[in-house]
Amino acid sequence: MESLRFMLRDRDTKYTEAFGAVFQSEDVDVLLSAPRAPRMNAHCERVIGTIRREALDHVLIVNEAHARRVLGRYQDHYNGHRPHQARDQLPPDVSEEPAAERQHGHPGKLLRTRILGGAINEYRYAA
């Protein structure tokens, strides 16, 4: 299992010294957001919200191992198949648009792959 190296948190007073001591005892560096920068966590909040809406709201997590499997499978989907607006609807791990048509301009058979028990569907044309 990969260990954590950093934890980013805001400067809310609810995080006491005891909270930080737990992470320091595990050799995790606690990084604080900039003071008076409420939008600093916007990118993290956006990704966390996407993960929650697209995956975690549809799966009942039973333990840590199950959560790791679900999040790992969602990570594979997010980086390898899910379209991203900032990349012209391409996933992060794809360098160019896949060919959607066969030789004569007719689309091939459409295949569906169910992800996370059907909570997410991936579609591809058969070769």
Give 22-35 pLDDT, tens digit per residue.
988 888 998 888 88
Instruction: Please give the average per-residue pLDDT across 103-124, as a whole number.
Output: 80
| CA distance to 82, 103, 104, 120, 124, per residue, from 100 (Å) | 16, 10, 11, 21, 8
Question: What's this model's pTM, rounded to 2 decimal places?
Answer: 0.62
Predicted confidence (pLDDT) at residue 16 exceeds the cutoff of 70:
yes
Q: Where are the domains of the chain?
A: 1-40
Structural Rg of the chain based on CA atoms: 20
Q: Among 79, 77, 87, which Cα is nearest to 123's?
A: 77
Q: What is the pairing mode between strands 6-9 and 29-32?
A: parallel
Give 46-100 pLDDT, tens digit per residue.
888 999 999 999 999 999 999 999 999 999 988 888 887 777 778 887 777 655 5
